[in-house]
Amino acid sequence: MSSKQSNKCVFCTFSLFEKQIIHQTKDSFLILDLFPNCKYHLLAIPKKHISNILEISDSEFLDLKNILKIGENILSEKVGINNFNLVINQGKKAGQEIFHLHWHLLPRTENETKNPLKTESKELRMLSKEEIEEQVKFLS
């Protein structure tokens, strides 16, 4: 897939995740993941369609890094969590399902000992509209 915007790409269709936005910059979004591995699972996503990390420019990468820092600060201040997994799944065999670069920001609590990305024994469920509204309101 090229860097051109894809009509089939869910992250290129702003209206599909508009209610999940926690923060945005000129070039990136920070959103609540609809299928979270843990509570307050966030995604940092470039607005421009970029298929993988090798295609991102230095300025776009810096903006994405900065929005991740904003996400960490929000979670630290509002939830009191200071431990995170930062994950990019790049390629189908690595678990990438949406082929638009995105970075997972997974907050970790003291009670967690298992990697939240390993879901063999855990079925993911979609957040309800109410859960999205509650968490976005809390984090925004």
Beta carbons within 8 Å of 63's beta carbon, 6+ residues apart: 25, 26, 27, 28, 46
Mean pLDDT across the stretch 128-136? Answer: 89
Match 């070039």 to its residue by tokens: 27
**Within 13 Å of residue 135, how many CA atoms lie on the same side as its CB?**
20
| Per-residue buried b or exposed e for 115-136, using 16+ beta carbons within 10 Å of the residue's own CB | ebeeeeeeeeeebeeeebeebb
Domain residue ranges in the chain: 10-139
**Within 13 Å of residue 2, how many CA atoms lie on the same side as its CB?**
3
Domain 10-139 belongs in CATH node 3.30.428.10: yes
Specify the pTM. 0.79
Banded model confidence at residue 10, pLDDT cuts 50, 70, 90? confident
Banded model confidence at residue 104, pLDDT cuts 50, 70, 90? very high
